[in-house]
Amino acid sequence: MQTNTAGIDTVNILENMDIKNTTVGIVGLGLIGGSLGLDFRRRGLRVLGVSRSPLTCDAALDRGAVDQASDDLSLLQQAEVIFICTPIAAITATVRALLTYITPETILTDVGSVKEQVIQEVLPLGARFVGGHPMAGTAESGIRAAQEGLFINAPYILTPVASTPPESVAMVASLVELLKAKLYFTSPQDHDRAVSLISHLPVMISASLINTCNQQGNNIALSLAQNLASSGFRDTSRVGGGNPELGLMMAQYNRPALLDSLGQYQESLQHIITLIETENWPELQKMLEITQATRPNFLR
């Protein structure tokens, strides 16, 4: 285990578990759900998959991502741990729908990229829920893009809260360790703050760059800019030119943390502008030396 800020003694708890005989349920058989299924089955676990689309169920069976598949949640009655791999907007409704079929001992976990809001919605429902966020992916999506080993060395964050039973956390953690992911524990708030900085803020500042260039009123300079843009623009604008639904989801579900990060970003930007306005070149150089020296801290 890489980090255990929650101080949960998973090793002792796991000694009493027989993880290999666990039946895992997966709701949502896309890139993440499908890849989880492939890895769990390879490790010998039984995997039951649910998708709203019968075609996706067939594809998941074809790919070997599930032992059984259905478009009906009742299939998951036999599952001990259920991974909810739907879009964030559907997580709470999925938990609610599952309550009809599961036992009080069934453990639920999700893979959403924002945690605080989902956990606040799910907690009152009374299920054994452990928030999770595997930070793995590809440019592709859907069951066809699922792949074995997707989570190897990728961060996988669990966000237990005070009321989460330690046994539930330990069970999900032990499944995550089967994936060979790097496991982290943190609070939902710290998780959302961290991803607002390193994932959601870059999307917004990158989109603002594209907007600024588009709004250039001088047509010759705009046309020239379009022709001259090279790798610096390409890299800095990449995430701002990505999937609009993803950017929207970040803003909707991580709004308070993202607004905090954006406010702090405005201050950093104003500091650079002031240095340039006042021609304070020694301080600007010092600042650029610090950004050069510290960037590798974020690229471990």
- Restricting to residues 166-195, name those near a second copy by CB under 8 A: 182, 184, 186-187, 190-191, 193-195
Give the angle 193-196-198 at the CA atoms, nearest 5°. Answer: 110
* Distance of closest approach, residue 185 Cβ to a second copy, in angstroms: 10
| Contact in structure between 76 and 98 (CB atoms under 8 Å) | yes
Q: Is 89 in the site for a second copy (CB under 8 A)?
A: no
3-state SS class at 136: coil
What DSSP character marks residue 22?
A: P
Q: Of residues 118, 161, 209, 253, which one binds a second copy by CB under 8 A?
A: 209
Q: Is 210 in the site for a second copy (CB under 8 A)?
A: yes
231-260 residues near a second copy, rule: CB under 8 A = 232-245, 247-248, 251-252, 255, 258-259
3-state SS class at 130: strand
For a second copy, the closer of residues 78 and 243 by Cβ is 243
Cα distances from 36 to residues 29, 78, 86, in angstroms, run 9, 18, 13
Q: Is 297 in the site for a second copy (CB under 8 A)?
A: yes
Give the angle 89-203-117 at the CA atoms, nearest 5°. Answer: 30
* Distance of closest approach, residue 13 Cβ to a second copy, in angstroms: 23
Q: Is 162 in the site for a second copy (CB under 8 A)?
A: no
Q: Is 7 in the site for a second copy (CB under 8 A)?
A: no
3-state secondary structure 109-136: EECCCCCHHHHHHHHHHCCEEECEEECC
Q: Of residues 18, 124, 162, 277, which one binds a second copy by CB under 8 A?
A: 277
Beta bridge partners of 46: 23
Q: Of residues 77, 135, 141, 144, which one binds a second copy by CB under 8 A?
A: 135
Contacts of 228 (CB under 8 A, 6+ apart): none
Q: Of residues 155, 166, 167, 180, which one binds a second copy by CB under 8 A?
A: 155
